[in-house]
Amino acid sequence: MKRMTIAVALVAASAFSGTALAQAKEQFVPANFYWVGPYAPGGSGFGGGIIDFMMMINERDGGVNGVKLTWDKCETEYNNARGVECYERQKNKGPTGATVVHPLSTGITYSILEKATADKIPVISMGYGRTDASDGRVFPYIFPLITNYWSQNTAKIKFIGQKEGGMDKLKGKKIVNLYHDSAYGKETIPVLDVQAKKYGFQVTHIAVPHPGNEQQSQWLQIRQIRPDWVILRGWGVMNPTAIKTAARTGFPREKMLGVWWSGAEEDVIPAGDAAKGYYAAAFNLPGTQHPVMKDILKYVYGKGKGEFTDKSRIGSIYHTRGVVAGIITVEAIRTAQAKFGKGKPITGEQMQWGIENLNLDAKRLKELGATDLMQPLKVSCKDHEGGGAVKFMQWDGRAWKVVSDWIPSDQSIVRPMIEESAAQYAKEKGIKPRDC
């Protein structure tokens, strides 16, 4: 017993001291995700994707220009306090510290925003997090890459316009915004109001209290409003419940449009047949047909490695989303290495430059074998979003079918709102925006 206690203490002490054996040719990327709790499907899927991709790069190319990628997993439980602990635990690991952090939670992104800026460690909040951080002048280290919530929302309205037969047809239409009653859920209320004014449709915001496993009254309200479309802004169990309750109250699922956090297999499978015909937004597409996914199957799963024991999850929405995060991470490292020295591990500060100068055009995507897995992306010092287009998918009862092209967002609405909101933050915190 005593000997065991000592052993436990020793192992723990060596881990707590936080000094991994530093080797010069390594690039450390923290894997702070969640494998337990209500949101484990998202956390383990996304985490699995990014790790699978990094493993593939190590196996296939021997790392980025010879620099091996390393990672350590840390369980955040989708809990802000645990997320901060993981961030602090991981930030000094590896020869150059944490390269970049993917918090995978809007709450954790908010909690580490200032710390990461002070520590000069970039935070990539891909498709979540603080929308106004797209203004890179005020938030140099925060990257809500690909598409933020507001941009996505303008694309959604465009998609609805397409379905209705033109943006002018939106006039007089009724849209209900059914949102999770949290910071995440409320994020799109202002932009929807602006669009409602611009296009002349009526928008009603209906809150669903957390966790959203009972929505009878919300859907009765919706039935009374008789909207033309319902935008679902849910998370976790709220999604299948909304779809099911829509079926119970006779609302057509072909008129329901979900945010991308309502659009994974895990959100529709529990709803069963009720989910047939339901639309959802996506900034990454599912499937294993892309060359990069084939490489993951070949170099990672083919060698008996890989994150999933359940092979059916390979190529799911969350998995490919993680792969996209991996592509962005690795490509940004590559970009930074090109400037600061090929084959050398880069620091967080250099990584910030790398992300800011990331340019994934169609040609590069083809080289990476990720055409159609994601959209081209060009980040700049001013624009920390980079892409801004969204595709839409429809659930056919078995799989997601892509039903639209990349629909670009309406930056004429979004950008001024972002700049205004960022400027207010800068004023409150006394930040002097960078010149870009």
Partner 1 sequence: MLYREAGQFKSTYAADQQIFPIRQDRIAVTLLLLVAFIGVPLFANEYWLSAILVPFLIFALAALGLNILTGYAGQLSLGTAAFMAVGAFMAYNFVLRMPWLGVIPSFILAGLCASAVGIVFGLPSLRIKGFYLAVATLACQFFVLWAIQRIGWFTNNSSTGVITAQTIEILGHTFDTPQSKYLLTLGIVAVLALLAKNLMRSETGRAFMAVRDMDVAASVIGIPMMKTKLLAFAISSFYCGVAGAMYAYTYLGTVEPEAFTLDLSFRILFMIIIGGVGSILGSFLGAAFITLLPIFLNVFFGALSHTFGLDISHAIVSNIELMIFGGLIIFFLIVEPHGLARLWQIAKEKLRLWPFPH
Partner 2 sequence: MNVSFFFEVLIGGLLAGVMYSLVALGFVLIYKASGVFNFAQGAMVFLAALTFVSLLERGVNFWLALGVTLAVMVVLGMAIERVVLRPLVNQPPITLFMATIGLTFVLEGLSQAVWGSQPHGLELGIADVPMQWLADSTGMFISQFDLIASGVAAVLVAALALFFQYTRVGRALRAVADDHQAALAVGIPLKNIWAIVWAVAGFVALVAGMLWGARNGVQYALTFIALKALPVLILGGFESILGAIVGGLIIGASEKLAEVYLGPMVGGGIESWFAYVIALLFLLVRPQGLFGEKIIDRV
Cβ distance to partner 1 smaller for residue 131 or 284: 131
Burial (CB count within 10 angstroms: exposed 0-12, middle 13-18, buried 19+), residue 149: buried
Closest distance of CB 151 from partner 2, Å: 26
* Binds 11: which of partner 2, partner 1, none (CB < 5-8 Å by kind): partner 1
Both tokens assigned to 417: 């709102």
Both tokens assigned to 377: 């992306």
CA-based nearest residue to 429, from 13, 139, 41: 139
Q: Which helix (H) or strand (E) holds 53?
A: helix 40-61
CB-based contact 180:208 (threshold 8 Å): yes
50 vs 31, 80, 320, 326, CA distance in Å? 9, 21, 8, 5
Can you give the binding site for partner 2, defined by CB under 8 A? 35-38, 40-41, 44, 181, 205-211, 213-214, 216-218, 220-221, 223-224, 236-237, 240-241, 244, 247-250, 266, 269-274, 309-310, 313
* Binds 202: which of partner 1, partner 2, none (CB < 5-8 Å by kind): none
Closest distance of CB 170 from partner 2, Å: 23
H-type alpha helices, 94-172: 106-119, 149-164
117 vs 46, 120, 124, CA distance in Å? 24, 5, 12
* Per-residue x/- track, 291-330, partner 1 (CB under 8 A): ----------------x-x---------------------
Residues 58-77 that bind partner 1 (CB under 8 A): 72-75, 77
* Binds 313: which of partner 1, partner 2, none (CB < 5-8 Å by kind): partner 2
Residue 182 in the binding site for partner 1 (CB under 8 A): yes
CA-based nearest residue to 416, from 173, 132, 196: 132
Dist. CA 412–CA 410, nearest whole Å: 5
Residue 22 in the binding site for partner 1 (CB under 8 A): no
By rule CB under 8 A, what count of residues binds partner 1?
A: 48
Residue 18 in the binding site for partner 1 (CB under 8 A): yes
Please list the residues that pair with 84 across neighbouring strands: none
Q: φ and ψ at 308, to 5 degrees? A: -100, 130
Closest distance of CB 240 from partner 2, Å: 5
* Binds 187: which of partner 1, partner 2, none (CB < 5-8 Å by kind): partner 1
One-letter amino acid identity for 413?
Answer: I
Residue 81 in the binding site for partner 1 (CB under 8 A): yes
Dist. CA 89–CA 76, nearest whole Å: 11
Closest distance of CB 21 from partner 1, Å: 10
Both tokens assigned to 420: 């205004």
Positions that interact with partner 1 (CB under 8 A): 8, 11-12, 14-16, 18, 35-36, 40, 44, 72-75, 77, 80-82, 84-85, 87-89, 91-92, 107, 110-111, 113-115, 181-184, 186-187, 189-190, 209-210, 307, 309, 425, 428-430
